[in-house]
Amino acid sequence: MADYLPHTPEEIDEMLRFLGMDSLEQLFAHIPPAVRLTQDLDLPSGLSEPDVAAVFAQYTSANRAKFSEMTCFAGAGVYDHEVPAVVKMLAGRSEFVTAYTPYQPEVAQGVLQAIFEYQTLISRLSGLPIPNASLYDAATGLVEGLNMAHGATQREKMVISAGVHPHWREVATTFARGTGHEIVVAPLVDGVTDWGSVDASGAAAVVAAYPNYLGVLEDVTAAKQLALANDALFILGADPIAAGVLKTAGQWGADIFVGEGQPFGTPLAFGGPFLGLFACTNEQVRRLPGRIVGETVDSNDRRSFVTTLRAREQDIRREKATSNVCTNQTLMAVTAAIQLGWLGTQGLREVATRCAQGAHFLHDEIVKIDGVERVSTQPFFREFAVRLTSDASSVLLTMANDGVLGGVAAAALTMGEDASIDHGIENVLIVTVTERRTKEEIDRYVEVLRKAVGE
């Protein structure tokens, strides 16, 4: 019998006597017998922690794609960055981990101030003045951006570049079934959005990605102009590491920035929990989704922080809500603030630069291999797409046998043909290099890929 319950049999009896009862069953006597469970739950009996650890060891050993077995060159929105011991330990402090939403600010200044610092950093990286306290992930962040654009324009049409991550687009399409938004996808040509091929009239939003999911650095001025010409909001989904050196969303003229905050101190974690980054212009503040922390003073005139503009939040607005966020990802936001504090101004630039250096070094080597060609001739930043002569997923499995996780197959993201790749998406591989990859590992990647494609 394993659990974390403090009650002794004597205490249970004492508590029941206090209630004038003689069995726990009496507490449930008012539940209609027709719906009561008449047998035990169909679950095994409880196990001790060491026994459960043994069960989990089977799961972990069946996961071949872990660091101890494979060097990671996979990205596509989720990146293997350095997370130092100091960040893990600080973010793992149980005061942060086991707190609830900071509804009582008098005893929640720790989380509230950490969020305030996070908001400041996101505002600086996005170049936009109004950040929020985080969203679930980038994909649901995009949905919130679309809802904001609908609120601002009262229009339904959302024009989205096919360079936006396929999963983000799919999530937007799912939620559009409820809101009635019309999703129009602008295809890529040579890795760059062909905005001219779609009708953006009457659009609420124009959405671009920077860099896009194939790694290409698009000049998103065209997207901004399209938005301006149609009185739509411009939403830019940007890589937050690249934002350390590239033009910010604000500098590109975005009304809304969304991004995936996983690179700021959160492990690959099989995809979650991650961190939806969000910021917008002053004009949109009353439509901001989720929570926002503001600075104020306490009754003794000391600086304090508190969640504010609560009247916007969905659980308060009830049926007038324009957002689906209640619980968010505070722990990941706190982690991001700590990780960025560790990196500092210079460290963030260094990480961004090393990612670009590593990716270009690997790129220049593997395009020399027969049967490996670029998908796009355009500039890229930290990852790039190549076309192989056979199925990319199969090549990945072959490479895995040599201890290399060679990237992410584009078709695994799109689940089939997609407007981002004009033909043969099943052969397209997205390859990523972070600051953690050494020249030796990159050289080995080239060797393993060469072998896998049979050169």
Which of these segments, 151-159, 162-170, 186-194, 230-238, binds other proteins (CB under 8 A)?
A: 162-170
Q: Is 375 helix (H, G, I), strand (E, B) or coil?
A: coil
Largest CA distance in the chain: 83
Distance of closest approach, residue 333 Cβ to other proteins, in angstroms: 8
* DSSP 8-class letter at 264: T
Q: Which is nearer to other proteins, 243 or 449 (CB)?
A: 243
Member of 182, 315, 370, 373 binding other proteins (CB under 8 A): 315
Which of these segments, 189-197, 201-209, 295-303, 417-425, binds other proteins (CB under 8 A)?
A: 295-303
**Cβ atoms of residues 427 and 390 within 8 Å:** yes
Q: Are strands 404-405 and 71-72 parallel, antiparallel or unpaired?
A: parallel
> CA separation (Å) from 65 to 70, 185, 356?
6, 33, 24
Interface pattern 245-274 for other proteins (x via CB under 8 A): xxxx--x--------x------xxxxxxxx
Q: Which is nearer to other proteins, 196 or 294 (CB)?
A: 294
- Residue 2 is encoded by which pair of tokens? 């394993």
Residues 195-214 that bind other proteins (CB under 8 A): none
DSSP lists the bridge partners of residue 277 as: 259
Q: Which is nearer to other proteins, 371 or 403 (CB)?
A: 403
Distance of closest approach, residue 80 Cβ to other proteins, in angstroms: 8
Give the H or E element holding residue 25. Answer: none
Q: Which is nearer to other proteins, 55 or 423 (CB)?
A: 55
CA–CA separation, 256 vs 161, rounded Å?
15
Residues 436-455 that bind other proteins (CB under 8 A): 436-440, 442
CA–CA separation, 76 vs 376, rounded Å?
16
Distance of closest approach, residue 325 Cβ to other proteins, in angstroms: 7
Member of 71, 138, 146, 208 binding other proteins (CB under 8 A): 138
Member of 22, 231, 283, 295 binding other proteins (CB under 8 A): 295
> CA separation (Å) from 233 to 134, 136, 153, 228?
21, 22, 8, 8
- Residue 429 is encoded by which pair of tokens? 């591989």
Residues 164-183 that bind other proteins (CB under 8 A): 165, 167-168, 170-171, 173-175, 177-180
With CB under 8 A as the rule, give the number of residues binding other proteins. 213
CA–CA separation, 433 vs 442, rounded Å?
8
Omega within 30 of 0 (cis) for the link into 379: no
Q: Which is nearer to other proteins, 230 or 407 (CB)?
A: 407
Residues 26-65 that bind other proteins (CB under 8 A): 27-32, 34-37, 40-49, 52-53, 55-65
Residues 337-366 that bind other proteins (CB under 8 A): 337-338, 340-351, 353-354, 356-358, 360-361
- Residue 281 is encoded by which pair of tokens? 């212009």
Q: Are strands 188-189 and 303-307 parallel, antiparallel or unpaired?
A: unpaired
Where would I find the beta strands (DSSP E) of 366-439? Answer: 373-374, 383-387, 404-405, 408-409, 428-432
CA–CA separation, 131 vs 75, rounded Å?
25
Q: Which is nearer to other proteins, 200 or 435 (CB)?
A: 435
Residues 382-441 that bind other proteins (CB under 8 A): 393, 396-397, 400, 405, 408-409, 412-413, 415, 435-440
Q: Which is nearer to other proteins, 379 or 424 (CB)?
A: 379
